Amino acid sequence: MSDDWSENLTLYFQRMLPLFSSLLLVFLSYVPLNIAGMGGIRPAMGMICVYFWLIHRPDVFNLGSVYFLGLIEDIISSAPFGSNVFALLVLYVLVSNLSRFFNGKPFVVMWYGFALLALIAFFSRWLLVSVYYSQFIPLPSVLFCYLFSVAVYPFLSLVNAFVQNALMKDEG
Amino acid sequence: MKRRKVLFIHLSNIRLLAKKFAIVILFLSAFVFMLINKTDTVIIEKTSSVATDVVSPLVDVLVIPARVVAGIYDYFRDLKQVYKENQKLRDENRRLVMVSSRARALEIENKLLSGLLNYTPPAEATFVTARVIAEEGDAFSHSLIAYTGLSNKVKKGQVVLSDSGVVGRIEQVGKMYSKIILITDINSKIPVMVERTRVRGILSGDNTSVPKMIFIPLEASLTVGDRVVTSGVAGVFPPGLPIGKIVSTEKNNVKIKTFSNLDRLEYVKIVDYGLDDVMEHAEQDGVLGKQDE
């Protein structure tokens, strides 16, 4: 009885791991590291995690997780409330419809996939926020943020892959 | 029994329908959030402050270990530059000693002249120093979260300074944490003037690291390197607070480089200049910079 209970709890915890690790990475991305030359820029951590988990474990990272992650980012950020949720939902729609093209392919293809889909998500958020402010947000800074996110994707994939392979191996 | 079965079928139909339209509903909720946010209501502000108070401690616990790692990286990086920087600091110190003695003389002269004119000085400013626990400097917003709030009598609209100049203003106050809008954020609009020529304008953030100075008179003469300070117009920011210097004077595009290094802030000073009445009026009139157009 007790074994069943602890087994269920472990299983439940493992199913929540992608969301917990994504939240941890999102929180980390807001920590001021004061590293010279970084210019306060942060990668779109939510997008990176959403893409990774929807490709690799869509069974444990669903629409609710995407929405929750977006809400948390909106609470920390001072960008218009709802814009992070919107961008992550755009990415969710894209990934859930196109994941068959990237799943099981070499890492480079998945990386290209992220570069392509994140571009659409960034662009739609840029458009929405520009409409909100009734003025265009400078496109170069959006592009820089996008390129930075694409550049760090492999490193953050390693972290997510570690969570998937080392901590979720029983279920995987 | 049959009725229960029908009810079950109904419920499963509703669930199926909800699942089908969940994405649409969630998209709509994001739009609704943005619309409500645009109306700038008190309920949203309060809810948002409470949410910030709940989430911020989670970021806060990560600050110390993350800073240790970043500190090690910075230590080795800085070692290279220590000698050069030391020389530079010695020169600067020599220059500052001279400036300091001149400032002291001017201060005494100022006191004497103020006494002669029967001048009433403004109320002494009080301040709170707060630790920065989160920063955001991406394309969509430039802000900070600091570990101070209502418990330290911090109020919305108060000026935030670093040791080199204006950093921003308080946008949201929770019980323990406050959100600060940086002067580079698209929501920030501050009345400023060029120190040398007293030409006035508005410093307008655009989510880049170099905000623009707008609404400058056509005939104004501006030079690269001119210092820009707050003008004190509208009364929210007191006059004379250092902002930055002009780095570009192209037509319709006067860019200001801020004195404060906004990406390397560990502590900030939140100053209360006793301008509560002015701030209340400014908030009603939209002077505090929220995009109301």
Distance from CA of A19 to the nearest CA of B (A): 15
pLDDT tens for chain A, 172 residues: list them: 567 788 888 888 888 899 999 999 998 888 887 665 565 678 899 999 999 999 998 888 989 999 999 999 998 888 898 999 999 999 999 999 988 888 778 999 999 999 999 999 999 999 999 999 988 888 988 999 999 999 999 999 999 999 888 777 655 4
Interface A-B, measured as beta-carbon pairs within 8 A, has a size of: 165
Distance, in angstroms, between B17 CA and closest chain A CA? 15
Q: Which range of residues forms the domain containing residue A127? A: 2-167
Contact A75 B264 (CB under 8 A): no
Sign of CA dihedral B233, B236, B241, B244: negative
Q: Which of B55, B171, B179 sits opposite A72 (nearest CB)?
A: B55
pTM, two decimals, is 0.81
The answer to the question of residue A120 being in a domain is: yes
Shortest Cα distance, chain A CAs vs residue B110, angstroms: 39
Percent of chain B having pLDDT more than 70?
Answer: 88
Q: What is the C-alpha to C-alpha distance for residues B162 and B261, in angstroms, rounded to an integer?
A: 9
Domain boundaries, chain B: 124-293
The CATH number of the structural domain formed by B124-293 is: 2.40.10.340
Amino acid B191: pLDDT:
92
pLDDT at B74 over 50: yes
ipTM of the complex: 0.87
| Residues in chain B closer than 8 A to A39 (CB atoms) | 137, 209, 263
Question: Which residues in chain B have Cβ-Cβ distances shorter than 8 Å to A149?
Answer: none
| Count of residues making up chain B | 293
The token pair that represents B4 in the structure block:
């229960």
Residue B23 burial class via C-beta count within 10 angstroms: exposed 0-12, middle 13-18, buried 19 and up:
middle
| A142 and chain B in contact, CB less than 8 A | yes
Largest CA distance in chain A: 61
Answer yes or no: is A172 within a domain. no
Q: Within 13 Å and on the Cβ side, how many CA atoms surround B215?
A: 10
Is A43 among the domain residues? yes
